[in-house]
Structure 1
Amino acid sequence: MRKWLPLTAVCLGAFMLLVDVTIVTVALPDMATSLHTTFADLQWVLDIYALALAALLLGAGSLADRIGRRKVYLAGLVVFAAASLACGLATGPAQLIAFRGLQGIGGAAMFATTMALLSHAYQGRDRGIAFGVWGSVNGAAAAAGPVLGGLLTEHLDWRWIFYVNLPVSVAAIALTLKVVRESRNPHGTGVDLPGLLTFTLAAGSVTYALIRVGDNGWGSTTTLGLFALAALSLLAFILIEARSKRPMLDLALFRNPAFVGIMAGGLLLSVAAFSYFVYVSLWLQSVRGMGPVTAGLAMLPMSVTAFVVAGVAGKKLHDAPARWTVGGGLVLIGLGALLLTLIGADSTWTVLVPGLAVTGAGVGLATPAMAAAAMAAVPPERAGMAGGALNTARQLGNALGIAVLGAVFQAGLSHSLPSGIPARLLTGGQAGALISRTPEAAPAVHTAFASGLRDAFLLSGLLGLLGAAAVLTLVRRPTPAHLVPTTPEPVRAG
């Protein structure tokens, strides 16, 4: 069994960093009460982590190719552990957000190197087994996040969702030092720093603008200025990448319609399937009065269905054209979100079950084929870059989705509230306290939350169907079986 120890070391890190995408969700109401956060603070606790992953994945992969993948993976583990401790000790929202960003930096270093480390450690049939286990661990992390977060928050304290990372990190570091071999890309080119900085500035500016739009307004100088900064930064990024001999992202890849379709599908999948969880959690706990554990369990229909469908699709549909598996999955995701719009003022958690189950089926159908389709759409020497670009698109979709759906949710909630109830109390996780103090406000609170959630679900559904249309339109030709990589290549810059 010693040969599977490198797989264990890599899976420990992967499980931990992916659990931390969702483990925070059910703890947000407790965080809001403990740290006196605003709605924007709660959004940033989730968004800054996804944004750091999206901004740094390609750069971290490039750095790892040059200086050593094990070295970067270990550095990521150390940073992740230190940031987790700091998150647990945070005394205010600004500290928590800053340390969550640091967590995301460590997570990017880990995420960008896990596939490369496995590819170097195993060959032949063992490599296929290793990647199968790695994929299952990724799925398990998505399912375990809300439940684990609920258990820790309810029976210990929300801070333990971060403290629990420390022993796992120590075990992963010790095991990696002992059993994982170093590897590099002999043709590694280093980090495209100008490209990395301009991309980060563009993504960060547009995300910040969307999160603040509820307070600033769409036409405010601040909002328009941030959008302008994002546009200029994106233009600078495109010019830098177009002129670079060793770009972080080869823009020529986007000449291929199939690649464009898969990137659009990956970005919109994250928005449509996952970005509303934070607002559902607020509703379940602060309005419906559920505890963190039961709130986490209420979200399980999506994760369990995705896990089951992904396993079946991997066995039965591995030769099916990506156009139909990815496009069909996005159709299901869109329809699942539209089913969620059935929520009303008197609804309980059961109203979520059909929509989450259908969405989970779509996620399970689309996700396994997406990475292979992205890499098969480009020349073999660019497969690693394509995989990294897809991961970046999905994390960026999650970050932007939380911000966009947050603006829609907040607008719908505020519009439905009577003038005597301040929206900031509800969006800041204080709905339960407000209802306890003034029971006569309960009907208005229930109505307002249902209205805001309906708007967010409706937009999610439309974006899911838009992603399906992009995939079905652009990914025209089925991927020949001999072009689909049997194992994903490591994320690299070129």
Structure 2
Amino acid sequence: MTENQLPRRWAGLVFISIAVSLIIVDSTIVNVAVPSIVEELDISSTEVQWVQEAYTLVFASFLLVFGSLADRFGRRRLLLTGVVVFGAASIAAAVAPTGGLLILARLVQGVGGAMILPTTLSIINATFRGRERGIAFAVWGSTIGGMAAVGPLLGGWLTTAFSWRWAFGINIPLGVVIVIGVVLTVAESRSDRVERIDGIGALLSVLTMAPLVFGLIEGRTYGWWTVDTVPTIGAWTWPFALSPVPVAFALAVIGLAAFIAWGIARQRRGRSTLLAFDLFGITSFRNGNIAAAVVSLGEFGIILALPLWLQFVVGFDALQTGLLLLSLAIGSFVASGVAGALSGKVAPVWVVRGGLLAEVVGVAGVAVTIAPDAAWGPLVPSLFVYGLGVGLATAQLTGVVLADVPPAASGQASGTQSTSRQLGAALGVAILGTVLFSTTAGVLASALDDRGIPAAQRDQVVSQVVDSAGAAIAGLAASPDTRDLATDAREAFSDGTRAAAFTAAAFLTLGLASTLTLGAGAARREPHAASTGETV
């Protein structure tokens, strides 16, 4: 990096953070808009999950691929490409006339997002050194924590004042700002080691993630072992009594084994690999990735359930939901100041542990508060504590994971740790979504049985409530004949949301336990200052 480029790097960090905001805001803004999407496009609860998961699945599947491509072809170049792809897909999502086309647009958004996230981390890792790198990671992480909650507020306002379609349209002006800012302030960087991309490894990584997430989402629909609902695609019908879900899980296990075996074999031959397996010899990198994956299981999954419950059960509109979740954003922003005050005084691993403890307390507090007649007041402190924990844990954990990684391998390392987070997020949304809807279905069916509702009518009501992700509750409440059933549905959906929240708290507790493998001594070490193999 030349001297005249140095003053621009902090300005560049601003636009890199805005780029992260683009994909994080989009991920969370959709959560608040989902109820309006359900009503306008008449999509099912499974499609609701796929509106989320189509993006997350592709996002997680391609992070490793684009992390390696960024090292080879230029990190700024790939970042700009990702922003353009993301913006174009956002236009398609904003004008989508059906749920299927919206899901397709979300798939393309996932490709763009997968180009953006690892390159922002890689640019930071290659540009900043020592304490400055820690500050840069803190800004990056606080942006994620803050935007995860600002997104619902923005989405609530846009959805209420205009339309859910503007929740996607807002990405266009943001994308223009990012492109102009990055071109003006961010220097290009790449690795000098020009090697062929591991195409087979890339394919195997996708073939591992896709069936895994598919199985987790579709298990409650098609059956976890035998077929409950026969899958059909056009004129083709699934011909077996065995559900496609265990087949998908088996394919994911085979894909993972093949990916690992292929990568290790290529590495032994001295050839490039999609994932630098030798990096897992670095203790902070290996254990940090495990912790990041487990933590993300709990952090992001609960965001799917809360807006649905708040709007369809409690009766909030989209703007009120966003305003309530603003307390989470405030907690995240407060955390950035706390993290700055603790810098150099407390080992990052202890900040991570403190943040995760706050997350557990916050999510558990939300779970205890959930009820059909819940008020907003008791929810605010729990969400604030949760946001405080997210802000503390996210940035510091990223710094711990990448602290000892040589800059020459920053692209692969960034892609790996981003993949760990997104894998956890994808599994979290799938698992907690399944907990939410399965619990709701079971509790509601039991309540209707207690009322003596005939089986056919019971199954119809359960299907209406679950398949609409709760939107059908208002219709039940509007009719005097089904008002009591609406009461049962609200109770059941609250039980499902509570179960999802406690499941998230359990995952976060497991993530906290996994940080015990991150030594404080290792976390205190300064990041590598070498720049071998870097051209900036």
Q: What's the TM-score, normalizing by structure 1?
A: 0.90
Indicate whether 1:225 and 2:225 are aligned. no
Partner secondary structure for residue 522 of structure 2: coil
Q: Is the deviation greater in 77-86 or in 259-268?
A: 259-268
> Which residue matches 2:440?
413
Cα deviation 1:122-162 (Å, max 9, x = unaligned): 78998787666555544442231000000110001000111
Aligned-residue offset at 1:107: 1.4
Match of 1:234 in 2: 256
1:31 aligns to what?
Answer: 37
Contact 2:118 2:411 in 1 (8 A): no
AA at the equivalent of 1:393: S
Paired with 1:415 and 1:188, the residues of 2 have a C-alpha distance of: 55
**1:357–1:456 distance in 2 versus 1, CA, 3 Å:** same
1:212 positional shift = 0.7
User: Aligned pair 1:183/2:189, yes or no?
Assistant: yes
CA 1:303–1:119: 2 relative to 1, 3 Å: same
Counterpart selection for 1:374 from 394, 401, 413: 401
Aligned-partner SS, 1:23 = helix
Match for residue 179 of structure 2? 173
For residues 214-247 of structure 1, what are the alpha-carbon distances to aligned partners after superposition, in whole Å with 9 as ceiling and x for unaligned? 1122222211111111111111111111112322
Among 152, 165, 168, the residue aligned to 2:158? 152
Matched residue pairs, number?
Answer: 489
For residues 123 and 325 of structure 1, the distance between their equivalents in structure 2, rounded to whole angstroms, comes to 20
Q: In terms of mean alpha carbon deviation, does 189-198 or 215-224 score higher?
A: 189-198
| AA partner of residue 199 (structure 1) | S
Q: Which residue of 1 aligns with 2:419?
A: 392
Deviations 1:252-289 (A, max 9, x none): 44455544432222112222122111111111111221
* Aligned partner (choices 40, 46, 53) of residue 40 of structure 1: 46
Contact 1:48 1:97 in 2 (8 A): yes
CA–CA separation in structure 1 for the residues paired with 2:64 and 2:207: 15
Q: Does 1:302 align with 2:316?
A: no
Contact 1:273 1:337 in 2 (8 A): no
Question: In 2, are the aligned partners of 1:128 and 1:486 still within 8 Å (CA)?
Answer: no
Structure 1 segment 49-448 matched on structure 2, within 5 A:
49-117=55-123, 133-220=139-226, 221-244=243-266, 245-255=271-281, 258-342=284-368, 343-376=370-403, 382-417=409-444, 418=448, 420=458, 422-427=461-466, 428=468, 429-437=471-479, 438-448=482-492
The question of whether the paired residues in 2 share the 8 Å contact of 1:345 and 1:450 is answered with yes
| Matched letter for residue 365 of structure 1 | L
Contact map agreement 1:372 1:485 (CA 8 A) in 2 = no
Structure 2, unmatched stretches of 5+, are: 1-5, 227-242, 450-457
Moved more, 57-66 or 377-386: 377-386
TM (norm. structure 2) is 0.83
1:458 equivalent to 2:502? Answer: yes
- In the aligned structure 2, how far is the partner of 1:383 from the partner of 1:181? 16
Q: Which moved more, 1:289-298 or 1:356-365?
A: 356-365
Change in 2 beyond 3 A, CA 1:57/1:485: same
Aligned in 2, Cα 1:61/1:172: closer, same or farther, shift over 3 Å? same
Superposition deviation, residue 198 in structure 1: 1.2
Counterparts in 2 of 1:31 and 1:203: CA distance versus 1, 3 Å: same
Name the residue aligned to 2:452: none
Measure, in 2, the Cα distance between the counterparts of 1:66 and 1:215.
Answer: 42
* Cα distance change of structure 1 residues 149 and 286 upon mapping to structure 2, 3 Å threshold: same
1: distance between equivalents of 2:435 and 2:41? Answer: 25
Instruction: Summarize deviations over 1:446-471 as a string: whole Å, max 9, x none.
Output: 21012111211121111111111111
Give the deviation of 1:432 after TM superposition.
2.1
Structure 1 gap segments, 5+ residues each: none
> Which secondary structure does the structure 1 equivalent of 2:500 belong to?
helix
Aligned to 2:511: 467
Higher deviation after alignment, 236-245 or 328-337: 328-337
Does the aligned pair in 2 maintain the 1:409–1:455 contact within 8 Å? yes
Q: Pairwise CA RMSD of aligned residues? A: 2.9
Larger Rg: 2
Kindly indicate whether the alpha-carbon contact (under 8 Å) linking 2:140 and 2:395 is maintained by their aligned counterparts in 1. no
Q: Is 236-245 or 423-432 further displaced after alignment?
A: 423-432
- Residue identity matched to 1:475: L
**Structure 2 contact 122–411 (Cα < 8 Å) conserved:** no
* Contact 2:118/2:414 (8 A) holds in 1: no
Moved more, 167-176 or 362-371: 167-176
CA–CA distance in structure 2, aligned partners of residues 385 and 120 of structure 1: 12
Amino acid at match of 1:300: L
Contact 1:259–1:475 (CA<8 Å) still a contact in 2?
no
